[in-house]
Structure 1
């Protein structure tokens, strides 16, 4: 299991260890992490660790960007399956199913591959007390972005965040004739 961020991310990694991960890596930084920086750090870890399948969340909860998985696949030159609701690993390939407007779409990717997971992919198991205790003894490696040779300096600057303007209240009309009159004479839409 891998996480990038501040020291408190260790808690999340310990939870992953208690749920069954064998070991964890924290890329510790106080910098504001943007999707490209995360993808570059993950690329460095993938090159070091040599996994055959990388599974990521579909999007971050802070910025909702939904870009890291796609950027990682592009940087690695690997195939990608996004929004996976079902994953089946076979001999040298992985089959990924995702929900689309018209039903389900299934693709087969040659391994190694990158997959981003939808919330319907699985129901996470609960961490039992014995597993929580065992997780404290499992290895959790901490590295810095510099250790990986990655520059995580933000490339984008948020200039402003603002709420949309308040909508004007609607009005009630007595009948259809009044509605047609208002649409024709006041709104001038018909």
Structure 2
């Protein structure tokens, strides 16, 4: 399903659009990328989970679907964490979840003949409006060049006397 709009939706509008698709289709699992759909903000999946009331597993590096549930494993600072979610659920993926497959030319040609349903936010009952306003973008201050030292003794001397961090 392709949702066409002239406006660039922000994270909340994208989540509302996806909520409309979820209500229409009734999927058991919604899988989203971690960041790309929402301008690299990492918000749309979590917002979709909240709007639909579905449980959510974020940053999935491994997904195992069972009968009425899904186990989502993700990397955390201390190792791995696995959560068991009842279906239907929202899962956002980490880049380690899957090895991409590249379609062959015959399969690309077959896909071109498949019908593609298009809809609009209006048909889904969603108003697309930007709630975030970009005020200004500026480059960071230039950093000064570093200093090379000949040996450890000179490094310790500079850290003590010039930088005063030791």
| Aligned counterpart, 2:44 | 68
User: How far does residue 182 in structure 1 lie from its aligned partner after superposition?
Assistant: 4.3
CA distance 1:178–1:113, change in 2 (3 Å):
same
1:16-61 deviation line (CA, Å, top 9, x unaligned): xxxxxxxxx1111121221100000000110011111100001117
2:51 is the alignment partner of 1:95: no
1:87-126 deviation line (CA, Å, top 9, x unaligned): 1111110111112222211111001100001111111222
Aligned length: 166
2:108 is the alignment partner of 1:132: yes
Q: Can you give the 5+ residue segments of structure 2 that lack an aligned partner in the other structure?
A: none
CA distance 1:173–1:90, change in 2 (3 Å):
closer
1:182 and 1:156 mapped to 2: Cα distance? 46
2:10–2:38 Cα contact (<8 Å) kept: no
How does 1:10-25 map onto structure 2 within 5 Å? 25=1
Provide TM-score, normalisation by structure 1.
Answer: 0.79
2:56–2:89 Cα contact (<8 Å) kept: yes
User: How far does residue 174 in structure 1 lie from its aligned partner after superposition?
Assistant: 5.4
User: How far does residue 189 in structure 1 lie from its aligned partner after superposition?
Assistant: 3.7
1:29 alignment partner, SS class: coil
2:14–2:38 Cα contact (<8 Å) kept: no
2:153 and 2:41 mapped to 1: Cα distance? 47
User: How far does residue 63 in structure 1 lie from its aligned partner after superposition?
Assistant: 2.4
User: How far does residue 67 in structure 1 lie from its aligned partner after superposition?
Assistant: 0.5
| Aligned counterpart, 1:123 | 99
| Aligned counterpart, 2:142 | 166
| Aligned counterpart, 1:44 | 20
Provide TM-score, normalisation by structure 2.
Answer: 0.90
2:71 is the alignment partner of 1:113: no
Aligned-residue CA RMSD (Å):
1.9
Q: Can you give the 5+ residue segments of structure 1 that lack an aligned partner in the other structure?
A: 1-24
1:72 alignment partner, SS class: helix
Q: Provide runs of 4+ in structure 1 moved above 3 Å.
A: 172-190
1:70 alignment partner, SS class: helix
2:123 alignment partner, SS class: helix
2:92 and 2:68 mapped to 1: Cα distance? 19
